[in-house]
């Protein structure tokens, strides 16, 4: 099928699939405890897409030109029997890359099972190596060592190069950047530094808390000189660099200071079946209702095509011009 293009000529190539809006962390930049407390109403199990429904949509998206799927959350490893979904998605014709993003809390015991089921790659979120800093960020006292065990298990399982994402926030963990770089140098791991973003409406984002990717580059380059690498594909979100001494690769994701909306080829599916065409979207389009009213594959494909064809999103490019902060869907609901 001919590629589905949006209003800016961007093809639909990637789909992020949230399997749950629940998480066992309460990271302050994503699910602050004062909002996502004990009384918070998460999506009931009956409203979550089943693995069969997700796989059916995955096939339709593949027919529409999607080549990469990524399983997200919330924390996706909280979803029971997730390896069964991995196996189902891995068998979809046309899907060349099947990845998963996790906080790593349960990864040590699941990495090999996920790899055996057909997972291609994995990304682990880790915002500091210092336990005090990391505990303050995840806000549940979870230790760094257990996340590192999960990363090591993923490497042993053959999911390498594992990617590790660090969200950098000024006066919170920016001083941890050199230690993170030093720890992962020389390992089969690609460390990526992400500018703190205004995802959702509950993380109290302020521009002055952003540590620009250029500043992070200077921190690392001053100690371990870097050399720019070419993008691996047109929709690459990270600026890639190699250590000149051959000790590996790092990435810088500058969504705030150098937006990459112009090449964004990514859609997001919430755990309850709503399709979002931007991380910073306000509303999604309900696909679950169509699934559960026995819509045909042709009807689903037509609806997905219509949604993407109407897409004009470029929030990161217009952020500075906004005269008010729009209400945005939470990252924990649609995945990062």
Walking along the chain (336 residues) 10 residues at a time, the average pLDDT comes out as 87 97 93 91 96 98 96 97 98 97 98 98 98 96 97 95 96 97 97 91 86 98 97 87 97 92 94 94 94 96 96 83 67 80
**Gap between the Cα atoms of 133 and 117, Å rounded:** 34
From its phi and psi, is residue 59 left (phi > 0), alpha (psi between -120 and 50) or beta?
alpha
CA pseudo-torsion sign 216, 265, 122, 46: positive
**Gap between the Cα atoms of 227 and 243, Å rounded:** 6
pTM: 0.95
Pick the CATH number of 14-334 from 3.20.20.70, 1.10.3470.10, 3.10.180.10, 3.50.30.30: 3.20.20.70
3-class secondary structure, 53: helix
Q: Give the H or E element holding residue 83.
A: helix 82-90
**Gap between the Cα atoms of 297 and 303, Å rounded:** 10
**Gap between the Cα atoms of 102 and 105, Å rounded:** 8
Rounded CA Rg of the chain: 19
| In 281-334, alpha helices (H) | 288-291, 297-309, 315-318, 331-334
Sheet order of strands, 249-253 included: 226-228, 239-243, 249-253, 189-195, 162-168, 121-125, 97-102, 68-72, 14-18, 266-269, 274-276, 285-286
pLDDT of residue 207: 87
pLDDT of residue 320: 62
**Gap between the Cα atoms of 92 and 168, Å rounded:** 36
**Gap between the Cα atoms of 258 and 192, Å rounded:** 15
pLDDT of residue 242: 97
């Amino acid at each position: 099928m001919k590629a589905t293009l949006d209003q800016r000529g961007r093809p639909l190539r990637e789909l992020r699939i949230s399997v749950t809006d629940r998480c066992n962390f309460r990271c302050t930049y994503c699910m602050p405890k004062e909002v996502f407390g004990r009384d918070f109403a998460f999506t009931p199990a009956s409203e979550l897409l089943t693995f069969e429904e997700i796989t059916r949509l995955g096939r339709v998206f593949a027919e529409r030109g999607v080549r990469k799927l990524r399983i997200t959350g919330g924390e996706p490893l909280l979803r029971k029997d997730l390896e069964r979904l991995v196996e189902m998605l891995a068998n979809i014709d046309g899907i060349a890359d099947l990845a998963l993003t996790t906080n790593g809390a349960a990864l040590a015991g699941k990495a090999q099972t996920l790899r055996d089921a057909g997972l291609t790659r994995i990304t682990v979120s880790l915002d500091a190596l210092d336990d005090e800093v990391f505990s303050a960020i995840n806000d549940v006292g979870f230790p760094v060592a257990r996340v590192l065990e999960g990363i090591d298990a993923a490497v042993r399982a053959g999911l390498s190069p594992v990617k590790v994402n660090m969200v950098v926030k000024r006066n919170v963990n920016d001083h941890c950047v050199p230690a993170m770089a030093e720890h992962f140098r020389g390992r089969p791991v690609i460390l990526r530094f992400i500018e703190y973003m205004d995802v959702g409406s509950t993380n109290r984002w302020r521009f002055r808390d952003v540590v620009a990717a250029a500043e992070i580059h200077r921190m690392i380059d001053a100690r371990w000189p870097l050399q720019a690498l070419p993008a691996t594909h047109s929709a690459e979100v990270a600026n890639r660099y190699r250590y000149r001494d051959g000790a590996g690769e790092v990435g810088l994701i500058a969504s705030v200071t150098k937006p990459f909306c112009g090449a964004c080829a990514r859609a997001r599916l919430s755990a309850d079946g709503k399709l979002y065409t931007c991380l910073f979207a306000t509303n999604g389009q309900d696909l679950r209702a169509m699934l559960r009213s026995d819509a045909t594959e042709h009807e689903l494909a037509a609806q997905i095509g219509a949604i993407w064809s109407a897409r004009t999103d470029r929030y990161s490019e217009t952020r500075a011009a906004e005269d008010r902060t729009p209400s945005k869907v939470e990252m924990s609901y649609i995945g990062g």
